[in-house]
Amino acid sequence: MTNQVSEKQLLLQIQPLIENHEAEAVRLLLEAYRPEDIADIFWDIELDEAKFIIKVVGQKEAVEIIRSLDEELQERFFKGYTSKEIADDVVSYLDSDDSVDILNLLPTRKAEEVLSYLDDQDYAKNLAAMLHYDDDVAGGLMAKELVQVKHNWTVSQCIEEIRLQAEEVDSVHAVYVVDDKNILNGVVSLKDIVLSKAHTSVIEITNTEFIAVNAYATGEEVARLMNKYDLITIPVIDSMNRLIGRITIDDVVDFIKEEADKDFQLQAGLSDSVVSEDKVLILSKARLPWLMVGLIGGLGSSMLVSNFETDISHLPQMAFFMPVVAAMGGNAGVQSSAIIVQGLANNTLKSKNIMPKLAKEFTVSLINGLACSALLLMFNLIIGHNYDLSIVVSIALITVIIFASLLGTITPLILEKFKIDPALATGPFVTTINDIIGLTVYFSLGRILLGA
């Protein structure tokens, strides 16, 4: 049994060896490690060192290491290789789904070159066909490698086919049954093949109540189906119901994680997927756009507040409560939009009717607004603030919480309708709008009720 290894220790051992070009020592050292673990140290080494490792570990290991690299590292890594090297040493050894992932990282021109260098031109044609799909639909997530059998075969013929495909298809979880026109008829589990007699007709053990996805189904839909029905693999079909590939759950797990990360990032106001190891300028670029949105919103607020200059100079205490009114609007809005965004993402939102949701949100925000306002009023009276001002602040607070909650509920639903990622609604954009609305309500109430 092998478990995780210390990355640091490996780095310390391997870097001096690479520096001295001790190929054999590096090879021996790495023999004890899994490709996935070796891939981990690629974050911390130079391109030259990486190329050295790939050269010495042997073909099969090298391909596995490259496959396990993070996308960003792959992209960086392949800049050091020619199209012919990528074709001969990497793509020709990979499963189609992994190859397509890599080709998608390359500039179009280079990807085409790689395809032209492939010896197996059938494989190249397959890959070219798969490149037509976006990488977030079923066709972009699927692999072409699968075991398919004819509906009139026996179990022993199936086993023979598995044997023939064994080298190409790493992990077999199911065998797909097709007719003469390649139309998918059903799925047979490996367990049923193991438990059946050799001469059994395959159709007897075929499950025809299977679930398949169209090549253009979204990644979200694939994830939802596999999750709901606890599937390990799902077949991919074209519009004629012909079998064209299969997706395994591990690719979908990656997809689910990426989607969750994207929502989290949008909510935090990051415009790109960044990690703290990225270069300063990349980090800065991912963050500056949303800061600018916030800034422009802030300037809007400042121009708004400037309309109330005389009110403030008349009663400077009004300024004291600007932060609390603005912040509470932001907080309440983010809460209500997060509930909707998550409901949309997880498909737990049973209906997209806006009116009943708004009615409910009104009640919830009224309760919370009343609770917060009462507390604020108590505090202000104890502290000994101006009575009228305290009343204004509390009324403004309720109004702002209700308003921001309704806006937070409605915005993601509207964005979804226009096919814009609803997670945008929990980010700085809506917080900023809520700031402006909150302050407008506050100062307007102040002017009316305090006659300032």
Scan residues 302-331 and list those touching its own copies (CB under 8 A): 302-303, 305-306, 309, 312-313, 316-328, 330-331
Contact 103, 135 (CB under 8 A): no
Radius of gyration of the chain (CA): 30
Interacting span for its own copies (CB under 8 A) from 82-90, 103-111, 248-256, 414-422: 248-256
- CB-nearer residue toward its own copies: 118 or 263: 263
- CB-nearer residue toward its own copies: 10 or 318: 318
Assess 420 for contact with its own copies (CB under 8 A). Answer: no
B/e letters for 43-57, b = 16+ CB within 10 Å, e = fewer, are eebeeebbbbbbebb
Single residue of 27, 29, 34, 444 touching its own copies by CB under 8 A? 34
- CB-nearer residue toward its own copies: 84 or 379: 379
Single residue of 199, 350, 382, 418 touching its own copies by CB under 8 A? 350
Q: Are strands 213-214 and 233-237 parallel, antiparallel or unpaired?
A: parallel
- Give, as ranges, the residues between 173 and 192 that touch its own copies (CB under 8 A): 173, 184, 189-191
- CB-nearer residue toward its own copies: 47 or 319: 319
Separation of alpha carbons 328 and 323, rounded Å? 8
Interacting span for its own copies (CB under 8 A) from 86-94, 108-116, 125-133, 253-261: 253-261
Assess 225 for contact with its own copies (CB under 8 A). Answer: yes
HSE-CB for 115 with a 13 A CA cutoff: 22
Single residue of 25, 159, 391, 449 touching its own copies by CB under 8 A? 159
- Give, as ranges, the residues between 263 and 302 that touch its own copies (CB under 8 A): 263-265, 267-270, 274-277, 280-281, 283-284, 287-288, 290-292, 294-295, 297-299, 301-302
Can you read off the two tokens belonging to residue 417?
A: 């309708």
Single residue of 62, 142, 247, 332 touching its own copies by CB under 8 A? 332
Binding mask 102-121 for its own copies (x = CB under 8 A): --------------------
189: β partners: 174
In the chain, helix, strand, coil percent, each to 5?
Answer: 70, 10, 25
Closest contact distance (angstroms) between CB of 117 and its own copies is 28
Contact 114, 106 (CB under 8 A): yes
Measured over the CA atoms of residue 136, residue 137, residue 143 and residue 147, the dihedral's sign is positive
- CB-nearer residue toward its own copies: 3 or 9: 3
Assess 354 for contact with its own copies (CB under 8 A). Answer: no
HSE-CB for 103 with a 13 A CA cutoff: 33
Closest contact distance (angstroms) between CB of 128 and its own copies is 26
Contact 424, 363 (CB under 8 A): no
- CB-nearer residue toward its own copies: 115 or 311: 311
Closest contact distance (angstroms) between CB of 273 and its own copies is 9
Interacting span for its own copies (CB under 8 A) from 76-84, 103-111, 119-127, 432-440: 432-440
B/e letters for 166-196, b = 16+ CB within 10 Å, e = fewer, are eeebeeebbbbbbeeeeebbbbbeeebbeeb
Binding mask 385-404 for its own copies (x = CB under 8 A): ----------------x---
DSSP structural state of residue 308: T
Measured over the CA atoms of residue 181, residue 187, residue 193 and residue 199, the dihedral's sign is negative
Single residue of 12, 28, 47, 166 touching its own copies by CB under 8 A? 166
Interacting span for its own copies (CB under 8 A) from 17-25, 113-121, 128-136, 372-380: 372-380
Contact 384, 308 (CB under 8 A): no
- Give, as ranges, the residues between 43 and 82 that touch its own copies (CB under 8 A): 43-44, 68, 70
Single residue of 47, 253, 381, 420 touching its own copies by CB under 8 A? 253
Give the long-range contacts of residues 386-390, CB within 8 A, separation 24 or more.
386/315, 386/317, 388/449, 388/450, 389/315, 389/317, 389/318, 389/321, 389/446, 389/450
- CB-nearer residue toward its own copies: 23 or 315: 315
